[in-house]
A and B are shown apart, each in its own frame.
Chain A
């Protein structure tokens, strides 16, 4: 396990973060944007767990943070998708370009 330096893990998480960013920038579809956000959140999760593992093996806070992030991500995803579907029903499109005027 410790044969892998922390840096490599951080590389993965950072890369994942920016992949998510890229998706967030380029996608025009709200659902895919949501997916990008999930990627970003996950990259953060990796960091938390890795820090916990490598730097603070005597504590479990990183793990707890990750759990709470997952919980919140779930809640967020649920609400987001409810909104998306609502949006779709009123605009019959989920392209961000079309949904500029977000009025409910």
Chain B
């Protein structure tokens, strides 16, 4: 089957999930009480807002990841043909990776990969 199978799969996933959720919606009558809707935090009312902005060290990783992700994308076509092309391909990618590796080393040295 061709690309249309993707559609079929999406449909199947939606049908499956929606079906399950719908059954519960229809058949199960839950009780209502004011506490039920509140966020669950070990049985204690939440303090302060949840959707605050806060400092996380994650974003530096995401930044660097993005760069490497692009690199990865270029690697795929290369990997397919490397056997046919032979040494020149290795040199090409060697240069490519080397330059990126420099960046990696830089990041490492600057401590960007250290958790903050």
Binding site for B on A (CB under 8 A): 67, 70-71, 74-75, 77-78, 81-82, 85
Contact = CB atoms under 8 A, between A and B. Distances in A.
Interface of B: 59, 63, 66-67, 69-70, 73-74
Contacts of A82: 63
A87 B66 CA distance: 20
A67 B75 CA distance: 13
Given A67-B73, A71-B73, A77 B66 contact: yes
Contacts of B63: 78, 81-82
Nearest to A72: B70
A92 B59 CA distance: 17
A81 B66 CA distance: 12
A9 B67 CA distance: 30
Given A74-B67, A75-B67, A77-B66, A85 B73 contact: no
Contact of B69 (A74, A81, A85): A74
A74 B64 CA distance: 11
A74 B59 contact: no
Contacts of B70: 70-71, 74-75
